[in-house]
Amino acid sequence: MINSLVSVLPLLLQSSYAIPLALSRASSTSSDHLASPGVLGIASPTHCIPGGGHQWSPAFRSDNQPVDAAHFYAKANTSITLSQTAFTSTSGTSSGLPTPTFEARTIPRRNVIYFTNWGVYKSHYTAPDVPVDKVTHLVYAFADLDVDGQIKSSDEYSDLQMLYNDASSSYGTSGGNEVHGSVEQLFRLKRENRHLKTLLSIGGWTYSKQGKFQPATKNDDSRQHFAASAVQHLADWGFDGLDVDWEYPESTEEAEEYVLLLKACREALDEYAAKHNQDYHYLLTVAASAGPNIYQVHKLAEMDAYVDAWHVMTYDFAGSWDKTTGHQANIYPIPGNPDATKFSADRAISDYMAAGIFAHKLTLGLPLYGRSFTNAEGLGEEYEGVGHGTSEHGIWTYRDLPRPGSESFFDQHAIATWSYNADTKELVSYDDPRSARAKADYIKKNRLGGAFFWEASGDKMGENSLVQILAEEMVSLDMSDNMLDYPDSPYDNIRRRGP
């Protein structure tokens, strides 16, 4: 084992994806990141897949064969520092996943946040509100697409035109061709915080369900048009990468087309960097389902050849589409109560790794919202309705939780939090500081690449901020520089790096 690892390390350190990365999500309204009943998995509230409880042993793959640590860690990442006494035992971690056969002393991790272009309306949450000192990557959701693959703004006012009442929007007085809106604000954040990398997320739940990806990926011409158009938006708007959010390919043919789409995007990004003599790796990430009946259709290993990071949507495991209450973002199942844990994050992470995806490319998703059930007696029990919510029925943002009169509980075995009001019989499943710290521990023990959050406006401020807790607990964050040079942008304030 040791000899085989030593022999491959020099090759691994040459990996083109050695630079730590970012992530992805859904559509143009708040409910876009909320999937419809029966769909599990994007960075928004509402993605859930119907299915029964899974009794999953985290130490085994889906074919019931023991996990091979050497298989998972055969590739090295230049962000990993090997000690002189690097090789350790493979006795296994407390989660059941294999202990790496070398000691990873320092793994700069990603702390990613999704930022929506509709949040400026409903939540009055704008780019200056982002806790940039705690975030490594920001994913901007969402860009729309036409059936021919042409990428376009889903809200030109929010994206490009809105003016802000502060000095950050003073560019428009010069008489030049300047961009405003969130695009201007995000570029300003990049300029002032060089560690912040931004990605443009394309698609999402709503645009996927409108059937836009299928025609846009059906042939080589449409895929090339998609890739060229996406990179053009990146270059015009000043982003560091692309996040593709197709929910979801449903057939073998569509899965193959998804691989070819990612290949076209990767090639277009690299060609853009080469054209401008930029020694910079533009990022390509995907929003990935945590539902087995979805990801088992995908050609994960083939996709992985072009993807820098996977944003695994490990939430929306339970909701209004279910007959019983349940945890919506648990790490492990509860063997004695399968109706309460119909899915688990550990099952998804284990399956992705068994498919050949390396731990440092997997990003664990955390929801900044809770799902409610009314007239409920407990977890795994039947309920009647979902009650009110912050902006829509059945969904409370984390900043509004726990609800008044409720008592909160933490299941240290499932790694899940919920609250319950005995008078109103309202049960809400969500993450809090206790589960966030436990999830950070899971990320570290299993050498995952980091965490991501859906979505920014739902977090609390101060010591109870989940984004802050993950940043502090993961310790070493990816502070690599972003890109500020976009010589072809039509916007003066992007091309000249600001005013």
> Which position has the token pair 């284990």?
350
Which residue, among 384, 385, 377, has the nearest Cα to 420 in the 3D structure? 377
What DSSP letter does each residue of 368-414 carry, written as one string?
A: SEEEEESS--STTSB-------SSBTTEEEGGG-SPTT-EEEEETTT
Interatomic CA distance for residues 15 and 132, integer angstroms: 29
The answer to whether the CB of 251 falls within 8 A of the CB of 297 is: yes
Which residue, among 271, 275, 261, has the nearest Cα to 306 in the 3D structure? 261
Which residue, among 42, 50, 45, 43, has the nearest Cα to 34 in the 3D structure? 45
Residue 170's identity, in one-letter code, is S
- 48 DSSP assignment: B
Interatomic CA distance for residues 244 and 126, integer angstroms: 23
| Backbone dihedral angles phi then psi of residue 168, each to the nearest 5 degrees | -70, -15
Interatomic CA distance for residues 232 and 288, integer angstroms: 24
Catalytic residue among 247, 426, 455, 473: 247
For the chain, the first-to-last Cα distance in angstroms comes to: 56
The answer to whether the CB of 459 falls within 8 A of the CB of 466 is: yes
**Other residues' Cβ atoms within 10 Å of the Cβ of residue 475:** 12
184 has catalytic annotation:
no
**Buried-exposed string 31-52: b where 16+ CB fall within 10 A, e elsewhere:** bbbbbeeebbbbbbbbbbbeee
- 241 DSSP assignment: E
The answer to whether the CB of 117 falls within 8 A of the CB of 28 is: yes
| Residue 449, CA distances (Å) to 29, 143, 216, 373, 452 in order | 29, 25, 30, 33, 10
Sign of CA dihedral 170, 171, 174, 179: negative
What DSSP letter does each residue of 75-126 carry, written as one string?
A: S--TTPPEEEEEE------TTSSPPPSEEE----BEEEEEEETTHHHHT---
Give, to the nearest 10 degrees, the angle between helix 433-445 and helix 466-474: 30
145 membership: H or E segment, kind and range: strand 137-145
Q: What is the CA radius of gyration of the chain?
A: 22
**Residues noted as catalytic:** 247
